[in-house]
Amino acid sequence: MKSRSLSLVLFLSLFPASLPLIAQPATHPDRQVAVTIDDLPSGMADKLPGSQIVAMTAKLLGTLRDQRVPVVGFVNEKKLYKPGEVDDRIKALSMWLDYGFELGNHTFSHMSLNQAGLKAWEDDTIQGESVIRMLLAQHHMKLRYFRHPYLDTGRDLLTRRQAEAFLAERGYRIAPVTLDGWDWAFAGLYEDAKQRNDTDLQQKIVKDYLAYHDAVFTYSEQESVKVVGYEPRQVLLLHASNLEADHIGELLDLLRKHGYRFITLKDALEDSAYSLPDTYVGEEGTGWLDHWAISQGKIPQGAPVFPQWVLDRSKELHLSTGEVPAPSESY
């Protein structure tokens, strides 16, 4: 789900970028991006009834199918088990496969490897496989992708390597992230505004959501060249929400304006960048551009500043602001 804590984002934004964060000229490199969506069946599954999750899923997947955008959705199976709603919530997952998309494992309870420890995290990963393996088998597909919750890959290198070996033994490829506009933070506010029919606030949220993603795309494109030497096939992180269901089409248009064409996660991971040395460890998860930079002894600089009003309003509503909960609090 969340890619970095607020402290890391603020730290990275303290350093001025060497190039202005403006859109590239009309001529672009051959930019390619794989879209991934986390926290299925819904990032706000604790607040939405199953029928609304099904409706949100249908709208989101309809746009993606109509625009021929391949997507892998990453599941937290704990969110399926709400009394009286299990069938609807499993139906929402089945729709992903019926529409021609793919499912991956995001652990059972969205458990942080950094917080829970290796054995508990391994057990939670296995527990998160049961329904999605069954659904995939019904479509003659295999479970092959895993996404770390919070992008927490381990506090130390031994734990990280042990976790990677465990995942490889179970047939997983880790899904990295190189583009992340923190859509989950906007999504919580959007859901609240939508429930209150506050259309003015919804419009403000969407405007800032698109503007921040625009800045993130430009920053990541520039940082890619500095760290990798070229722009690799990127992997975009989004989350299942009504914000994306209502407005992902606008985000896809923004990606096209940056010169991207949409590819599968499998094709993205064939880029040689994903074989670069990666020794990143830390208390806070972060994206792979930061992994590679820090592994090279570089400090990522110039990250866009996240809109403070979104974080402030999220605190007022008791929504997540990127802090990783203790294992007993995981949902």
Q: Measuring CA to CA, which residue among 316, 59, 78, 37 is closest to residue 201?
A: 316
Q: What is the mean pLDDT of residues 42-56?
A: 94
pLDDT of 180 reads 98
Work out the pLDDT band at 212, boundaries 50, 70, 90.
very high
Question: Could you give the dihedral angle defined by the CA atoms of residues 139, 104, 42 and 326, in that order, rounded to the nearest 10 degrees?
Answer: 150
pLDDT exceeds 70 at position 12: no
Tally the C-alpha atoms within 13 A of residue 247's C-alpha that lie toward its C-beta.
23
Q: Cα separations (Å) of 100 from 115, 133, 253? A: 35, 16, 21
pLDDT mean over 209-233: 98
Q: Judging by DSSP bridges, how do beta strands 260-262 and 31-40 pair with one another?
A: parallel
Closest CA to 238 of 217, 261, 267: 217
Give yes or no for a cis peptide into 41 (omega within 30° of 0). yes
Our CA dihedral for 210, 212, 213, 219, rounded to 10 degrees, sits at 150
Query: With 50 as the cut, is the pLDDT of residue 11 above it?
Result: no
Question: Do 206 and 189 contact (CB within 8 A), yes or no?
Answer: no
Confidence of residue 29 (pLDDT cuts 50, 70, 90): confident
Cross-strand bridge partners of residue 34: 235
- The model's confidence at residue 15, banded by pLDDT at 50, 70 and 90, is very low
Residue 188 has pLDDT above 60, yes or no: yes
Mean pLDDT across 309-316: 94
Cα–Cα distance for residue pair 86/178, rounded to 1 Å: 33
HSE at residue 50, side-chain half, CA atoms within 13 A, is 15
Q: Which amino acid is at 217?
A: F
| Cα end-to-end distance, the chain, whole Å | 11
- SS3 labels along 38-68: EEECCCCCCCCCHHHHHHHHHHHHHHHHHCC
d(Cα 44, Cα 110) in Å, to the nearest integer?
13
Residue 275: pLDDT above 50?
yes
Q: Tell me, rounded to whole angstroms, the distance of Cα 213 from its chain centroid.
A: 13
In order of their start, the domains of the chain are 6-18+30-322 (3.20.20.370)
Encoded tokens for 306: 């996240």
Q: How many other CB atoms are there within 10 angstroms of residue 245's CB atom? A: 20
* pTM of the full structure: 0.90
What CA–CA distances, in Å, run from 193 to 87, 161, 306, 314?
28, 43, 20, 12
The tens digit of pLDDT for each residue in 133-162 reads 999 999 999 999 999 999 999 999 999 999
